[in-house]
Amino acid sequence: MSMANRDSLAAQPFGLPISPADHRSPGWWAMVFVIVTESAFFAYFIFSYFYLASMAQGAWPPEGAPSLRLALPNTIILLASSAALKWGEAGIRHGSQRRLRAGLLLTFLLGVAFLVIQSIEYSHQHFTPATDAYGSLFFTITGFHGAHVAVGLLMNLVVQLRAWLGHFSAERHLAVTNAAMYWHFVDAVWIVVFISLYLSPRFG
C-alpha cells in the first residue's frame, strides 16, 4: 500500500477523539460496574449480619459491642486517606505530577496504617471466627473489607509507579481516576461496615 493511502486511512474520521481517557471510556465503565457488583457483595454480607442479629436468641453481639478505641481512629485514618487521594487527583487534573505523587504516597501510607491497626485490633479480640456466628460474621466482613483495602493498595502501587514514570498528564490519567474511584468505594464500604458492626449495637 502506498504511503499516501496509509496516511488517509489513519486520518481521524469526522474529527472524533481516539479512545478518550474520560468517563466516555469503556475502562471507566468497567470500574463503575466492578463497584456496583462489589457493593452488592457487601450488601448481602450486611444483610446476613442483620438477619442473624434479628434471629439471635440471646444478646447481640454475644460479646457486647466491639470497642471503638482502635476502630474510631482507624475510621478517621481511612477517611483522611480518601482526602489525600482527592488532593492528589485534583493535582494531576491541573497537570501537577508532584502533587499526584505526593497524594498517592500519602494515601498508601494511611492505607497501610489502617491495615496494621486492624490487625492489632484483631489480635486483641477475645473471640475468633470459630467462636460463634457473630465471630464468623465479624471476621469475615471486616476481613473481606481488609482484603479490598489490600487490593486498593496494590492498585495504588501500580499507579504510583506509573506516576513516577510520567505516564499521566492533565488530559490522560484514567488509571488514576479508576484507582481513586475504587479507593473511595472501599472507604465508603468501611463507613457502612463501621456503622453496622460498631455503631448499630450501641443504638439498640
The residues binding another protein (CB under 8 A) are 1-3, 6, 8-14, 16-21, 24, 26, 29-30, 33-34, 36-38, 40-41, 43-45, 47-48, 51-52, 55-58, 62, 129-137, 140, 154, 158, 162, 167, 172, 174-175
Count of alpha carbons within 13 angstroms of residue 53, beta-carbon side: 18
Question: For another protein, which is the closer residue by CB, 74 or 142?
Answer: 142
Cell output for 180: 481513586
Residue that has been written with the C-alpha cell 494515601 in this structure: 107
Under a CB-based contact definition with an 8 Å cutoff, are residues 65 and 53 in contact? no
Question: For another protein, which is the closer residue by CB, 25 or 77?
Answer: 25
Please tell me the distance from the alpha carbon of residue 118 to that of residue 153, in angstroms, as a whole number.
15
CB of 150 to another protein, least distance (A): 10
Q: Which amino acid would we find at residue 138?
A: F
Q: Which amino acid would we find at residue 109?
A: L
Residue that has been written with the C-alpha cell 505516564 in this structure: 167
Question: For another protein, which is the closer residue by CB, 17 or 203?
Answer: 17
Please tell me the distance from the alpha carbon of residue 92 to that of residue 172, in angstroms, as a whole number.
9
Question: For another protein, which is the closer residue by CB, 84 or 175?
Answer: 175
Question: For another protein, which is the closer residue by CB, 46 or 78?
Answer: 46
Phi, psi of 176 (to 5 degrees): -65, -50
